[in-house]
């Protein structure tokens, strides 16, 4: 499968379309819900719309200056990237049970609005297995849940560094003691 199109995403700068703060402040939180992990107080968001996507299921890749930062799936590509989802944060979405990912993606686009943010997509009905394969292959930073992948990678790197140091001591023990 080949991704079809690359679309540049830019926030709408007119009419204060970026850096609007805390949509949660407009929400009547009568159930006293806690904020979700991506609905941080004071976090800034933006408004944008990506009008040229098809109304079909598919997989999308978000790139920042060519680097894959997010892989996602949706039943409707156009709706996912419209002003009713990623493109404008609903006040309800910053609280538990809301669309936490919408907050994360929108905030990222706002913070990186001077970068070349692009969406590549592929229309497909087999979205689950394809998305999982891409996430496992690329480990995009915005797909990491609670930084568990980063922690695992850092632990692996630390084990490797210790192994190399032990190997150096075995092979060059006398020289290594002089460095201490």
CATH number for position 65: 3.40.1440.10
pLDDT band for position 57 (50/70/90)? very high
Q: How far apart are CA 81 and CA 98, in angstroms?
A: 17
Q: How far apart are CA 3 and CA 137, in angstroms?
A: 16
Give the distance, in angstroms, between the CA of residue 51 and the centroid of all CA atoms in the same chain: 21
Counting residues of the chain whose pLDDT is more than 70, the rounded percentage is 71
Give the distance, in angstroms, between the CA of residue 37 and the centroid of all CA atoms in the same chain: 13
Q: How far apart are CA 146 and CA 158, in angstroms?
A: 20
Is 93 found in the same domain as 81? yes
Is 93 found in the same domain as 177? no
Q: How far apart are CA 116 and CA 164, in angstroms?
A: 39
Is 179 found in the same domain as 133? no
Decide which of 171 and 99 is more confident.
99
Spatial CA neighbour of 35 closest among 44, 45, 25: 25
Taken as a whole, the chain contains a residue count of 180
Counting residues of the chain whose pLDDT is more than 90, the rounded percentage is 25
Phi and psi of 154, rounded to 5°? -65, -40
Residues 6+ apart with CB under 8 A from 108: 64, 69, 70, 142
pLDDT value at position 51?
Answer: 72
pLDDT band for position 12 (50/70/90)? low
Is 71 found in the same domain as 158? no
Is 66 found in the same domain as 151? no
Is 97 found in the same domain as 31? yes
Is 69 found in the same domain as 128? yes
Tally of domains in the chain: 2
**Weakest-pLDDT range from 61-70, 71-80, 102-111, 170-179:** 170-179
Tokens of 136: 């496992």
Is 149 found in the same domain as 138? no
Q: How far apart are CA 111 and CA 66, in angstroms?
A: 16
List alpha helices for 74-126, DSSP H.
Answer: 77-80, 100-111
Number of other CB atoms surrounding residue 36 within 10 Å: 19
Is 152 found in the same domain as 85? no
Is 152 found in the same domain as 132? no
Spatial CA neighbour of 146 closest among 113, 110, 104: 104
Is 164 found in the same domain as 110? no
Is 154 found in the same domain as 94? no
| Structural domain boundaries, residue 177 | 144-180
pLDDT value at position 76?
Answer: 93
Decide which of 131 and 175 is more confident.
131
pTM for this entry: 0.73
């Amino acid at each position: 499968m080949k991704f079809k199109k690359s679309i540049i995403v830019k926030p709408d700068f007119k009419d204060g379309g970026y850096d609007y703060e805390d949509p949660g402040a407009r929400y009547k939180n009568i159930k006293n819900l806690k904020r979700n992990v991506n609905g941080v107080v004071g976090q800034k968001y933006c408004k944008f719309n990506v009008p040229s996507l098809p109304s079909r299921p598919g997989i999308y890749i978000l790139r920042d200056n060519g680097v894959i930062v997010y892989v996602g799936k949706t039943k409707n590509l156009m709706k996912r990237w419209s002003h009713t989802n990623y493109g404008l944060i609903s006040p309800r979405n910053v609280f538990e049970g809301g669309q936490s990912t919408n907050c994360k993606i929108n905030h990222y686009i706002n913070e990186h609005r001077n970068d070349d943010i692009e969406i590549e997509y592929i229309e497909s009905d087999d979205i689950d297995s394809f998305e999982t394969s891409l996430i496992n292959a690329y480990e995009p930073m915005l797909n990491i849940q609670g930084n568990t992948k980063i922690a695992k990678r850092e632990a692996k790197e630390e084990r490797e560094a210790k192994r190399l140091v032990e190997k150096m001591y075995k092979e060059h023990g006398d020289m290594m003691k002089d460095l201490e």
